[in-house]
Amino acid sequence: MGFPYDNGGTWTDVSGPIFMGAGTGAPGTYAVIGIVICIVALAIGQVAESAKYSKHK
């Protein structure tokens, strides 16, 4: 998979989207998945830190 443009500075020769999911629901779906993963990671971190703080008191 190489760089699709001969002239690296302009977008004039672009014939279609590089991202195959453009124009579909894929960007929104991926954004929601990323948001959920971040919230889960924050929740797990909060539970772990809370447990450690409780033991430290």
Q: What is the DSSP string of 15-51?
A: -S-SSTTTTSSHHHHHHHHHHHHHHHHHHHHHHHHHH
* Gyration radius of the chain over CA positions: 21
In a domain, 6, yes or no: no
- pLDDT tens across 7-26, in order? 566 666 667 667 778 788 98
In a domain, 17, yes or no: no
What residue numbers bound the domain in which 35 lies?
26-57
In a domain, 53, yes or no: yes
- pLDDT tens across 36-57, in order? 999 999 999 999 999 999 988 7
* Residue 34 near residue 27 (C-beta atoms within 8 A): no
Global pTM reads 0.62
Sole residue written with tokens 């279609």: 16
